[in-house]
Structures are given as structure tokens and as C-alpha cells.
Amino acid sequence: MAKPPNYLNPDLPAGLRIVEMPVVDATAETLRGYGRLVDDPKDCQVEIVRWPHAGWRTVDEDTGDEAGTTEGVFVSDWQGDILYGRNDAVGGHYILAYAQPPEQARNDHGDPPQRMMLWHANYHPDGGQLFFPLESRPFLVPLALPGDDIRPEHFICFRFSGLQGLYIHPNIWHEGVFGISGTQRFYDRQGAVHARISVDFAREFGCLVSAPIRA
């Protein structure tokens, strides 16, 4: 069983190499396969994946997908060089990214971040996830297509105007929502089971996955 990292103190090694993500504008076309843009969160249905079966007998069709969804506010909060994320839907609190190498990162200044560097990503096999901005400000979301043989080079950073939200399908690699500065809030709805499968870029690949931030 994989032991979860300390998300608020990941204790990353110094001198990690940087892998740059391409940055693309989020459109219906560029998001194909990852998810879709959302105009109204009330109209967005979250996919729930039926519980898998271990043998040749299948799960009864009226069972295995009844846990439903959970919802809350996802907060993206830059404090100096450190981006904190808090997901009230599942009680999660994390360091999402850094604006400087982790060993140099400080949280005692108000300079706007110029880039974001991720150390971790995950996907949810049990359901999809909706993020909808509660303030109309631009934001970024790194994504990669399904597959456990994930590599840092597989990630694309999608740029959103802040006028629409994002829905991602089950099994899509992601790491929350990345505001461009200060504190930004998002409505979050996702599968209530909240199974999480992770990749640790720092320890598995000796790198951070990075993209520039453009206001």
C-alpha cells in the first residue's frame, strides 16, 4: 500500500531539474479527451464509475455507483513563492506548487509569481471532477491523459479565462486548480469515494513540472 506524502511538508530534494509544460488556451477542441468547458455548474453532471469486480461475476447494475458526489470550495492561495490548495469537498490541504525551487521558496513576501512548479499529480478512478471559478479571474490547470505509465513530458498546462469552468473525466491526471496570484476560489464537485492515485515527480523522475504564469 502506498504511503501518502506529507502534502504540507513534502521535504523535496534540492537541485531538481525542470521539465517545461506546453501552455495552451482551453477550448472545446484542446480539451477533447480530457474533459470540457462548463458554462453553468448546475448543468454539469459528474461521471461516477461503477465499483470494479475481481472475478467473472459482474457487479449488479443497480449497485456499485451509489456513493454520489461531494462538493465544496477549492481555494488556491499563493503565499510568497508557495501555492497552497485547500479542497473543502474532501478535507484536503496541500502544497500544490512553487514559484522558486523548493529549497529557495519563501512565504514572507507579496511578489506575484512568475511561474509554477509542480512536484505531484494524481487522478481519481472513481469519478470525474468539476472546478468552476467563483471569481472571474484567469487560472491554469495542468492535465495529462489516462495511464499509469505517466511521465512529466505528458502534461499540458491549460489556460482558462475565468469566465468558464472545467470538467475533467475520471482517470485524468491533474493537481487541482492553479490561480495566477493571490487567493482564488472555485466551486468543486467530485466523486464522494475520492480514490486518489498519485505520481511524485520529484522522487520518481528527479524533476519538477513547470509552466510560466501570465496574468
Q: What is the pLDDT of residue 144?
A: 98
Does residue 1 have a pLDDT over 80?
no
Identify whether 71 is part of a domain.
yes
Q: pTM for the complete prediction?
A: 0.95
Identify whether 139 is part of a domain.
yes
Identify whether 58 is part of a domain.
no
Residue range 124-133: mean pLDDT, rounded: 97
Q: What is the CATH number of the domain that holds 101?
A: 2.60.120.480
Q: What is the pLDDT of residue 129?
A: 98
Strands (E), the chain: 17-20, 23-25, 35-38, 69-79, 82-87, 92-98, 115-118, 120-123, 129-133, 139-143, 156-160, 165-168, 178-179, 183-191, 197-200, 207-212
Does residue 82 have a pLDDT over 90?
yes
Does residue 103 have a pLDDT over 90?
yes
Instruction: Give the range of the structural domain holding residue 74, as residue numbers without chain letter.
Output: 17-46+67-155+162-212
Identify whether 7 is part of a domain.
no
Identify whether 57 is part of a domain.
no
Residue range 6-32: mean pLDDT, rounded: 97
Q: What is the pLDDT of residue 18?
A: 98
Number of domains making up the chain? 1
Identify whether 4 is part of a domain.
no
